[in-house]
Structure 1
Amino acid sequence: MELYDLVELRHAIPEENLPAGAVGTIVHVFHRPELAYEVEFTDEEGRTLSSVALTPDEIRQRP
């Protein structure tokens, strides 16, 4: 996965009010200490709802 790819959550993140399947955009890629992605989730009008650092096993790339 790369910067600006669309991804979806494999599992809900209740503390961020994000359901499983929520779609977000990768806005940063961390390579250290381990691979992770900062994913931004927005509403229909483009307002940021949440920005969360996630590991590759927590998301899947959207086609």
Structure 2
Amino acid sequence: MNYQLYSDVMLLCNLPEEGLDAGDIGTVVEQHQVDGLETGYSVEFFDLLENTVAVATLPGSYLRSQEECK
């Protein structure tokens, strides 16, 4: 799936080294394309007070769009 910049996505797996859990919601802030590799995305994750918790660069297979979750 191709995620657009500034779209909300859900994390599909736990990333304890980043302090993130499956189900956390983040915003796509950058797309990374490297020939021969899966498209990657930099995603910014926030807490309920809108403070940044983490910015992680992840393969698209670790993410699901909000629309896919409905």
The percentage of counterpart residues that share the same residue type is 33
Q: After TM superposition, give the deviation of residue 32 of structure 1 in Å.
A: 2.2
CA RMSD of aligned residues (A): 1.0
**Runs of at least 4 residues off by over 6 Å:** none
Unpaired stretches in structure 2, ≥5 consecutive residues = none
- Higher helix content, 1 or 2: 2
TM-score by length of 2: 0.83
Match of 1:58 among 55, 59, 62: 62
TM-score by length of 1: 0.91
Q: Secondary structure at the match of 1:21?
A: coil
Unpaired stretches in structure 1, ≥5 consecutive residues = none
Match of 2:7 among 5, 8, 16: 5
